[in-house]
Amino acid sequence: SQTIHQWPATLVQPVGSPLSLECTVEGTSNPNLYWYRQAAGRGLQLLFYSVGIGQISSEVPQNLSASRPQDRQFILSSKKLLLSDSGFYLCAWSRRPPQAYEQYFGPGTRLTVT
Partner 1 sequence: LAKTTQPISMDSYEGQEVNITCSHNNIATNDYITWYQQFPSQGPRFIIQGYKTKVTNEVASLFIPADRKSSTLSLPRVSLSDTAVYYCLVALDNNDMRFGAGTRLTVKP
Binding positions for partner 1, rule: CB under 8 A: 32, 34, 36, 42-46, 49, 51, 57, 88, 90, 92, 94, 97, 100-108, 110
Residue 29 one-letter amino acid: S
44/53 with CB nearer partner 1: 44
CA–CA distance, 50 with 39 (Å, rounded to integer): 22
Minimum separation from the CB atom of position 80 to partner 1 (A): 27
Name the CA radius of gyration of the chain, rounded: 13
67/88 with CB nearer partner 1: 88
